[in-house]
Structure 1
Amino acid sequence: MKEITDIIKSYELALVAGKKMALATVVHVEGSSYRRPGARMLVTDDGQLTGAISGGCLEGDALRKALLAISQQKNKLVTYDTTDENDTKLGVQLGCNGIVHILFEPIDKEQTNNPIELLKKAVAKRQNAILITLFSMHSRTSDQPGTCFLHLETDKEVVCNCEGQELYNVLLTESAEAYNKADSFFKTFDLGEKKQTVFAEYLNTPPSLVIAGAGNDIIPLVEMTSILGWDITVVDGRAGHATRQRFPKATQVLVSRAEDVLSHLKTDERTFFVLMTHNYNYDLSLLKQLIFLEECTYIGTLGPKKKLERMYTDMLAEGIMVSESQKTKIYGPVGLDIGAETSEEIALSVLAEIKTVLNKKSGLPLRDKSEPIHNRSDQQVKYSESDKEEFLCAVTTALP
């Protein structure tokens, strides 16, 4: 989501400057690639790049393709084959062993719901969204409808740039399936005389981190979290510590008693809490509320295990028994074991742990993982043998 918000900011600045733009989107990957479907890069006519579609290998050639799309004002699908490490056609040796399909869309600022405007609608509120990109990999000369459909979960708003009721019904059905799966997927259809692939992209709300505490050790945690593009709330009972001047990158800074914190927040299953006030009673009071917050999946507590055990004992004395199920969402001491000592290292440890919980991962070294780094179960388009032959004849590594 951070990449999308950065692209939107650059888009707004480019509009003011009167620049022309094109959006490059990774729409499909076969094999290994540095970026996965949904990675985007905005290109302006003066060569400014925002976002990334690779690890830097494709950006140079992609700039030229984007400028061509801007010049011709036509969507273009370009296929980069990185499986041949000795291939010097692109002037680089990619070594990713994958085939990457990138869609280039010139941005028409007069179009009310151009691809960037759809992205703006998708991130305007804290809600999940389905964004559909429609493209054809069977012929590079085929029309490429591009980013054309948005379905907002909470607002129930649907925006469609494609013509025809039949196509609208197809895309609406696929967006509903993406919501049910809570995941992105691909599917190919015979639409009229053309085969088109639907990339239904599930755009989840960004994680929200609520940090109880406003001491100096919170500053690097806020800085690192802002780089990830997460929503950040800093809350503390001390007005002299919880200030916007100390935490300019926080989404909100609150001065509140522990008993009133939740009344100021709107939480969901992607809201994470860390208790780092260095005030035992404040942390305890907040923990007593959080354990009953059903959607909460992560509560990190700073300090040794004996501090957390004392909290359990004190709550039991008040008649509050913390169940084993409730304990599973409490992480104390907070963070992964990386040998963290400084506040910056502790912040890294905390965020790494939250990321493993968010993505339901183990946190083990990737070298010990036998499966591919990325889950590709839903990242493949299903084709018949005749489709494959047609596709292999049509794809090209670069447009002339």
Structure 2
Amino acid sequence: MKEIQDIVRAYDVASQLKKRTALATVVQVEGSAYRRPGARMLVTEDGELTGAISGGCLEGDALRKARLVMAQQKALLVTYDTTDDDDSRLGVGLGCNGIIQILIEPIADENPDNPIALLRSVLSQRQQGVVVTLFSLQNRMGLQPGTCLLLPEKAAARGHVQPTALQELLAQEAMQVLKNQKSVIRNYQVQDKVISAFVEYLRPPVSVIVLGAGNDIQPLVQMASILGWLVTVIDGRTNYAVKNRFPLADKVLLAKPPQVLDLIPVDGQTVFLLMTHNYNFDIAMLRQLIPLAVPYVGVLGPKKKLTQMLTELQDEGLRFTPDQMQKVYGPLGLDIGAETPEEIALSVLSEIKAVLTGKPGTALRNKPEAIHDRTIIETPIPVTAAQPVPDAVA
């Protein structure tokens, strides 16, 4: 989400300066590549780049093609084949061993449903959503539909796809993507043409609620902000809960435990960190947090501290299910030998990321399979269209 946030901000600046822009999106990868489908880069006519579609290998060539797209105001599908280590066409041996499809589309300010407008809509609503980007591998020189449809979880769809039968199929696919929380690429047979759809699952940014405003929290707030996560710092001490101590935090709130949950929204992307160094504050919060449907509650301190708090809560008559206890992490963080506040912040944020993505947090070299799932090229799904297929999906 951070990349999308940065791109929308950069677009707003470019638009105010009357600069033309284009959006490059990785829509399909066969084999391995540095970035996966959904990676984006905004390009301005004077060469400013925001976001990334590779590790720096493809950006120069993509910039040249983006300028052509802006001049012609016509989307372009570009293929980069990095399977040959000796390939010198791009001026560098990439060695990624993959075929990367990148769609570059011009941004028309006057179009209320242009790609940036659809992405902005995702950011404005803290909910899951699906963005559909259509492209044609069959007819690369023809018109490419591009980013054309947004289906939010709890709001009306935006955008339009022709024929209507295809839009109906995409809406059904979007519902399945929302359920599975996983992006897919589908091929559709529309009369004698094959159109590919990157049906992309987007989730709201992680919201980190940090209970505690000591100096050791400052590196964690800074690192979480770099990740694009929303950070709220809460403390009950007036001289600690001060905004200028945490300039990168989205919110700094002064509150006691009974007030906390009334001040913040909580959803499936909200995580809590109990880092107050105050036993009574922490146990009062833990009592409220364990029953919540959140994925992660981290407790700073030794395991003995957490065990003691849980024992006290059980003595009060509280009973927690195994699923509720599974989300409580104490001591919090991955075992990386962290000692300093900065290292502890790295350890904690890494554990949160692993938990949210369902990964074990182990060394990649010990993973027997590929780092990322491989794209499977599926047989096109037939689309019964009651109307002719427009050139826009050629």
TM over 0.5: yes
Q: Give the drift of 1:213.
A: 0.3
Whole-angstrom distance in 2 between the partners of 1:211 and 1:60: 40
Q: Does 1:8 align with 2:8?
A: yes
Return 5+ residue gaps in structure 2 as ranges. Answer: 381-394
Whole-angstrom distance in 1 between the partners of 2:157 and 2:70: 27
Q: Give the drift of 1:243.
A: 1.6
1:369 paired residue among 367, 370, 387: 367
Whole-angstrom distance in 2 between the partners of 1:325 and 1:121: 34
1:380 paired residue among 357, 376, 382: 376
Return 5+ residue gaps in structure 1 as ranges. Answer: 385-400
Q: Give the drift of 1:183.
A: 1.3
- Residue matched to 2:259: 260
Moved more, 258-267 or 28-37: 258-267
Distance 1:160 1:254, change over 3 A: same
Which digits, 9 at most, give the CA deviation of each residue in 1:35-66, with x for residues without a partner?
00000000000000000000001001000010
- Residue matched to 2:218: 219
- Residue matched to 2:203: 204
- Residue matched to 1:175: 174
- Residue matched to 1:388: none
- Residue matched to 1:44: 44
Contact kept, 8 Å, 1:312 with 1:322, in 2: the verdict is: no
Contact kept, 8 Å, 1:22 with 1:107, in 2: the verdict is: yes
Contact kept, 8 Å, 2:273 with 2:298, in 1: the verdict is: yes
Residue identity opposite 1:244 in structure 2: K
Which digits, 9 at most, give the CA deviation of each residue in 1:91-150, with x for residues without a partner?
011000000000000111111111111100111110111100000111212221000000
- Residue matched to 1:187: 186
Q: Give the drift of 1:323.
A: 4.4
1:50-129 paired onto structure 2 within 5 Å: 50-129=50-129
Whole-angstrom distance in 2 between the partners of 1:47 and 1:222: 32
1:344 paired residue among 336, 342, 345: 342
Which digits, 9 at most, give the CA deviation of each residue in 1:184-235, with x for residues without a partner?
1011111233210011001111111110001111111000000111111111
SS in 2 for 1:88: coil
Residue identity opposite 1:114 in structure 2: N
Distance 1:217 1:66, change over 3 A: same
Moved more, 180-189 or 313-322: 313-322
Whole-angstrom distance in 1 between the partners of 2:191 and 2:76: 20
**% identical aligned pairs:** 53
- Residue matched to 1:298: 296
Moved more, 352-361 or 308-317: 308-317
Matched residue count: 380
SS in 2 for 1:341: coil
Contact kept, 8 Å, 2:160 with 2:167, in 1: the verdict is: no
Q: Give the drift of 1:322.
A: 4.2
1:250-289 paired onto structure 2 within 5 Å: 250-289=249-288
Higher relative contact order (CA 8 A, sep 6+): 2
Whole-angstrom distance in 2 between the partners of 1:164 and 1:197: 14
- Residue matched to 1:392: none
SS in 2 for 1:110: coil
SS in 2 for 1:245: helix
- Residue matched to 1:395: none
Residue identity opposite 2:18 in structure 1: G
Moved more, 36-45 or 308-317: 308-317
Residue identity opposite 1:125 in structure 2: Q
Contact kept, 8 Å, 1:160 with 1:168, in 2: the verdict is: no
- Residue matched to 1:327: 325
Which digits, 9 at most, give the CA deviation of each residue in 1:122-179, with x for residues without a partner?
1111011110000011121222100000011122x11124344233323222222222
Q: Give the drift of 1:181.
A: 2.3
Whole-angstrom distance in 2 between the partners of 1:106 and 1:380: 29
SS in 1 for 2:358: coil
Contact kept, 8 Å, 2:134 with 2:195, in 1: the verdict is: yes
- Residue matched to 1:396: none
Whole-angstrom distance in 2 between the partners of 1:61 and 1:324: 53
Residue identity opposite 1:270 in structure 2: Q
Moved more, 37-46 or 331-340: 331-340
Residue identity opposite 2:352 in structure 1: I
SS in 2 for 1:144: coil
Whole-angstrom distance in 1 between the partners of 2:327 and 2:16: 47
Q: Give the drift of 1:260.
A: 1.7
What TM-score do you get using the length of structure 1 for normalisation?
0.92
- Residue matched to 2:351: 353
The RMSD of aligned alpha carbons is: 1.3
